[in-house]
Amino acid sequence: RKEVEQDPGPFNVPEGATVAFNCTYSNSASQSFFWYRQDCRKEPKLLMSVYSSGNEDGRFTAQLNRASQYISLLIRDSKLSDSATYLCVVILTPGYSSASKIIFGSGTRLSIRP
């Protein structure tokens, strides 16, 4: 089983729609969670961190459910510029003296149509 799993999509939605992405992780020792955005042929860039209390940044809302090992990202009032691949990211530190792994999901491709 993959450590981080995402629906690969693609999602093709009209401008103004609300889009939801989901991600599950397998290791309950995972500590930190993020959503990254990757444009075609570019490097990934941080979109937002994800907290159990939920966090919102404009049209974007991220949520973490530790009990279900589930992370979500909601985009409201989608814009053409939101078209990209969205990557779920988990930081896992196996032990106190171990290095931390940053693990990416396979990404969900989003296309917004006019």
- Residue 36 CB, nearest distance to other proteins (Å)? 8
- Residue 112 CB, nearest distance to other proteins (Å)? 19
Rounded CA separation 16/114 (Å):
9
Closest to other proteins by CB, 44 or 110: 44
What is the contact surface with other proteins in residues (CB under 8 A)?
Answer: 6, 31-32, 34, 41-46, 49, 87, 89, 91, 93, 98-107
Contacts of 17 (CB under 8 A, 6+ apart): 78, 112
Closest to other proteins by CB, 49 or 72: 49
Task: Please state whether the peptide bond connecting residue 94 to the residue before it is cis, i.e. omega within 30 degrees of 0.
Answer: no
- Residue 87 CB, nearest distance to other proteins (Å)? 6
Closest to other proteins by CB, 79 or 101: 101
- Residue 77 CB, nearest distance to other proteins (Å)? 25
Rounded CA separation 89/30 (Å):
10
Q: Are 108 and 7 in contact (CB under 8 A)?
A: yes
In terms of Cβ atoms closer than 10 Å to its own Cβ (0-12, 13-18, 19+), residue 31 is: exposed
Closest to other proteins by CB, 16 or 94: 94
